[in-house]
Amino acid sequence: MSELGNALKCSQVSAVLLAIGMTWGVAQAQQAPIKVGVTRQADTRIVIAAPAFASDASTTQYARELSKVIERDLDFSGLIKIVATPEYPSRFRGFTTDARAINFNDWRGTPAEFLIHAYVYEKDGELYAECRLFDVLVANQTLGNVYKAKPKAWRQLGHSFADEVIRYLTGVRGIGRSEIVFSAGRPGSKEIYVADYDGENLTQITRHNSISVTPQLSPDSNRIAYMSFKDRYPFLYILDRGAGRLTPFSKRIGLNHAPAWAPDGRTLALCLSRDGNTEIYTKNMDGSNERRITNDRASDTSPTFAPDGRRIAFVSDRVGRPNIFAMDINGGNIQRLSFQGGSAYDPAWSPDGKSIAYVAEQSGAGLEIWVMDATGSNARRITTSGGSNESPSWSPDSRHLVFASSRNGNWQLYTATLETGAIRIVPGLAKFRTEGPSWGIRRGS
């Protein structure tokens, strides 16, 4: 696991090239042409150009690919539109290493409101990227940093700057440096994997030659709790990623499943069937202080903590069908949240505490992803595939969801951007049957 950690980490050098101090204003996005009798919603995305970066002789390929990484991260946010290459200035032939050579008069003739310039070079075995964001209208540098990484972790340079650009423009940092853990394999054999949020840097975590599912990243992403049949029965384990140490967490008689980390990273909720039906318990990460917190003849399962640690949302069939409920962490003050009709499963509380994603099954509609306010109000349907969509998990900025879907005949991971409604398959994982994703924090957070 130490090799994985080294490959994924890149240290950020001290920030340089600070903003000059001028305030900036975002130029109004161009509206679609108005036609009589037709109303179109204005495109309010911020428009940015990110041409291929300047480089020295040994880093040309890195420079070209880094600009693509940044473009994808910015576009994925749903809040930014990337200027297409044919819209670049007609006289533009690429960047030089000197950002002072940029002809802003030419760029003002394009849709670009902001322009990214970067210079990529190698020094003492490490890769550097000097990245700048310019306000095109006033020819003002508004953001600048220097990043470095080992060449094998080159993608993190692009993710780091894209995250900062998104934070500068929207107030909330992007998710390019985050990762997703999930199970993958074939029936009868599933292992735990981890990948960047965009499916790159895929790495197999377990090699149990068994069925290992429902991985959950700890709040600091340093540990993974999951269920495995590696010791014949469905037990829960916790993997310390840095030390590569696997520790049994729960080996009670019956089912041990649905682990969920509390925000403090020291406590987990879990589900046990030792009482004849499934109940929710909490216990410390070291296995101590096991405490039952639900007590109902119905089955209670799928706990998820509110980010302040005070409430737990869960699934119960105490009203006849499975639905989403919430309770205090001691099991009191139980409140039903889902009322969309049919059954509801797989709740996931957003990192900002405002929303709960879940799965709803309605007559003729299949299993679809829904989101409601944390109070249970304002329920809205996110997917409309008509297939099976399961296991939603939130991005660290609460703007996106990752989930598993069988819409194309094979279980694969997809993302949904709530701002735009865009649904995208996570690239690079198509050869796997993937399910049960958990979206972790930004590395370096």
Q: 357-410, pLDDT tens digit by residue? A: 999 998 777 899 999 999 999 999 999 987 799 999 999 999 999 999 999 888
Please spell the DSSP secondary structure of 277-310, one letter per residue: S-EEEEEETTS-S-EE----SS-EEEEEE-TTSS
Q: Do 303 and 382 sit in the same domain of this protein?
A: yes
Backbone angles phi, psi at 290, to 5 degrees: -70, 130
Q: Do 287 and 160 sit in the same domain of this protein?
A: no
pLDDT at 437 (0 to 100): 98
Q: Do 279 and 310 sit in the same domain of this protein?
A: yes
pLDDT at 438 (0 to 100): 98
Q: Do 162 and 193 sit in the same domain of this protein?
A: no
Which residue, 170, 189, 210, sits at the end of a domain? 170
pLDDT at 382 (0 to 100): 96
Sequence-distant (≥ 6) Cβ neighbours of residue 255 within 8 angstroms: 234, 271, 272, 273, 278
Tell me what the mean pLDDT of segment 152-175 comes to.
Answer: 95
Label residue 186 by pLDDT band (50, 70, 90).
confident
Asked if residue 204 lies in contact with residue 190, where contact means CB atoms within 8 angstroms, the answer is no
Tell me what the mean pLDDT of segment 220-232 comes to.
Answer: 96
Asked if residue 163 lies in contact with residue 177, where contact means CB atoms within 8 angstroms, the answer is yes
Which residue, 153, 170, 187, sits at the end of a domain? 170
Place of tokens 């979206």: 439
pLDDT at 268 (0 to 100): 98
Q: Do 160 and 216 sit in the same domain of this protein?
A: no
Asked if residue 221 lies in contact with residue 261, where contact means CB atoms within 8 angstroms, the answer is no
Please spell the DSSP secondary structure of 169-233, one letter per residue: HHSS---TTEEEEEEEEETTEEEEEEEETTS-S-EE----SSBEEEEEE-TTSSEEEEEEEEESE
Which residue, 126, 144, 170, sits at the end of a domain? 170
- Please tell me the distance from the alpha carbon of residue 141 to that of residue 134, in angstroms, as a whole number: 4
pLDDT at 444 (0 to 100): 67
Q: Do 163 and 242 sit in the same domain of this protein?
A: no
What CATH code is carried by the domain that includes residue 196? 2.120.10.30
Q: Give the Cβ contact number of residue 404 at 10 Å.
A: 22
- Please tell me the distance from the alpha carbon of residue 115 to that of residue 46, in angstroms, as a whole number: 11
Q: Reply yes or no on whether the pLDDT at 158 is more than 80.
A: yes
Q: Do 398 and 425 sit in the same domain of this protein?
A: yes
pLDDT at 400 (0 to 100): 98
Q: Do 111 and 217 sit in the same domain of this protein?
A: no
pLDDT at 41 (0 to 100): 62
Angle at 80 between CA 79 and CA 85, to 5 degrees: 160
Q: Do 200 and 252 sit in the same domain of this protein?
A: yes
pLDDT digits (tens, 9 = 90+) for 320-369: 999 999 999 999 999 999 998 899 999 999 999 999 999 999 877 789 99
User: If residue 164 lies in a helix (H) or strand (E), which one and from where to where?
Assistant: helix 155-170
Place of tokens 């749903």: 78
pLDDT at 9 (0 to 100): 33
pLDDT at 205 (0 to 100): 96
Tell me what the mean pLDDT of segment 8-19 comes to.
Answer: 30
pLDDT digits (tens, 9 = 90+) for 51-99: 999 999 899 999 999 999 999 999 999 999 999 999 999 999 999 999 9
Label residue 18 by pLDDT band (50, 70, 90).
very low
pTM of the shown model = 0.88
Angle at 35 between CA 31 and CA 40, to 5 degrees: 45
pLDDT at 212 (0 to 100): 97
User: If residue 161 lies in a helix (H) or strand (E), which one and from where to where?
Assistant: helix 155-170
- Please tell me the distance from the alpha carbon of residue 7 to that of residue 329, in angstroms, as a whole number: 38
| Residue range of the domain that includes 226 | 178-442
The sign of the CA dihedral 25, 399, 425, 41 is negative
Helix, strand, coil percentages for the chain (3-state, nearest 5): 10, 40, 45
Percent of the chain with pLDDT over 90: 82
Q: Reply yes or no on whether the pLDDT at 8 is more than 70.
A: no
Task: Give the tokens for residue 78.
Answer: 């749903």
- Please tell me the distance from the alpha carbon of residue 347 to that of residue 392, in angstroms, as a whole number: 8
pLDDT digits (tens, 9 = 90+) for 274-321: 988 999 999 999 999 999 999 999 999 999 999 999 999 999 999 999
Tell me how many domains the chain contains.
2
pLDDT digits (tens, 9 = 90+) for 122-154: 999 999 999 999 999 999 999 999 999 999 999
